[in-house]
């Protein structure tokens, strides 16, 4: 079945550091890929998405590129801020039927001033 | 726009009782909603897909008689945990699916509620 594996946390960085959170997937067909963010006390929010190979999703300074050859969708940001502290989830949808989401285990990110 | 609420946000109940959790799409209609369960420091696990006007579709290993889902309107789905036991204690999250139309076409996006923390004593 479909699955998502992402970098285990927690990850702690200093403000303005470069961020990478790795995500790889296993899926049949051509899934869509997502990064969701969960801020403390809030629900999950879609951060960015990519629906086909070589697409780059971007939002709020975060980027991720859909790499079919390496089955990866790594999240990157050039300069993190304290407000980026949250839990980040990589997910895929098989684009069939109800378009269910399969999530990775989540990575807790803490940014220190 | 695209706000999803859950009620209650937190509930504590005694073992053997039933608990109902509501999921509402506040500013859009959703024919499809999803219920997830999240254990501490773990990922979200899909429990079931809730379809307005029809029976829910449960994931493998989820007891449908234990977790009753009702999606009676386009803005409300409910999850009832029947005869709750301590092992049912968890964080339950719902989402509602909406068609989003963008510059490159339309796609279905899930909008998530803030979750409900259930503790069964």
Chain A residues whose beta carbon lies within 8 Å of the beta carbon of residue B98: none
Whether B36 shows a pLDDT value over 90: the answer reads: yes
Whether B14 shows a pLDDT value over 90: the answer reads: yes
Residue B86: helix, strand or coil by DSSP? helix
Q: Give me the residue from B4, B43, B109 closest to A43, CB to CB.
A: B4
Nearest to B23 by CA among B36, B13, B42: B36
Mean pLDDT score of chain A: 92
Q: What is the pLDDT of residue B75?
A: 93
Whether A74 shows a pLDDT value over 80: the answer reads: yes
Arithmetic mean of pLDDT, B56-65: 94
Whether B40 shows a pLDDT value over 80: the answer reads: no
Whether B54 shows a pLDDT value over 90: the answer reads: no
Enumerate residues 49 to 108 of chain B having a beta carbon within 8 A of any beta carbon in chain A. 49, 57, 93, 95, 97, 107-108
Q: What is the pLDDT of residue B1?
A: 67
Question: Distance between CA atoms of B20 and B25, rounded to whole angstroms?
Answer: 17
Whether B88 shows a pLDDT value over 80: the answer reads: yes
Task: Indicate yes or no: CB of B34 within 8 angstroms of CB of A46.
Answer: no
Instruction: Tell me the nearest-neighbour CA distance from A44 into chain B, angstroms.
Output: 6
Q: Give me the residue from B46, B93, B107 closest to A100, CB to CB.
A: B46
For the ranges A37-41, A93-97, B77-81, the lowest mean pLDDT is seen at A93-97
**How far from A5 is each of A2, A43, A88, CA to CA, in Å?**
10, 21, 12
Q: What is the pLDDT of residue B104?
A: 64
Which residue has better confidence, B49 or B2?
B49
In the 3-class helix/strand/coil scheme, how is chain A assigned residue by residue?
A: CCEEEECCCCEEEECCCCEEECEEEECCCCCEEEEEEECCCCCEEEEEEECCCCCEEEECCEEEECECCCCECCEEECCCCHHHCEEEEEEEECCCCCCCEEECCCEEEEEEC
Instruction: Tell me the nearest-neighbour CA distance from B44 into chain A, angstroms.
Output: 6
Mean pLDDT score of chain B: 91
Task: Indicate yes or no: CB of B107 within 8 angstroms of CB of A89.
Answer: no
Encoded tokens for B120: 């069964």
Nearest to A7 by CA among A32, A28, A31, A35: A35
């Amino acid at each position: 079945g479909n699955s998502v594996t992402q970098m285990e946390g927690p990850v702690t960085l200093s403000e303005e550091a470069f961020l990478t959170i790795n995500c790889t997937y296993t899926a049949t067909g051509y899934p869509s890929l997502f990064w969701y963010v969960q801020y403390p006390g809030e629900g999950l929010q879609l951060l960015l998405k990519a629906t086909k190979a070589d697409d780059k999703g971007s939002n709020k300074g975060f980027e991720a590129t859909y790499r079919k050859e390496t089955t990866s969708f790594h999240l990157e940001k050039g300069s993190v801020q304290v407000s980026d502290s949250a839990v980040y989830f990589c997910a895929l949808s098989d684009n069939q039927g109800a378009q269910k989401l399969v999530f990775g285990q989540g990575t807790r990110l803490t940014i220190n001033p | 726009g695209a706000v999803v609420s859950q009620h209650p946000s937190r509930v504590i109940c005694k073992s053997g009782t039933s608990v109902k959790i509501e999921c509402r799409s506040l500013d859009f209609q959703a024919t499809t909603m999803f219920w997830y369960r999240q254990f501490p420091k773990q990922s979200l696990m899909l429990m079931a897909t809730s379809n307005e006007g029809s029976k829910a579709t449960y994931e493998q290993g989820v007891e449908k008689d234990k977790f009753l889902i009702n999606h009676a309107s386009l803005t409300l789905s409910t999850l009832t945990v029947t005869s709750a036991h301590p092992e049912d204690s968890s964080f339950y999250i719902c989402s509602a699916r909406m068609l989003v139309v963008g510059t490159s076409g339309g796609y279905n996006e899930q909008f998530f509620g803030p979750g409900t923390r259930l503790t069964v004593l």
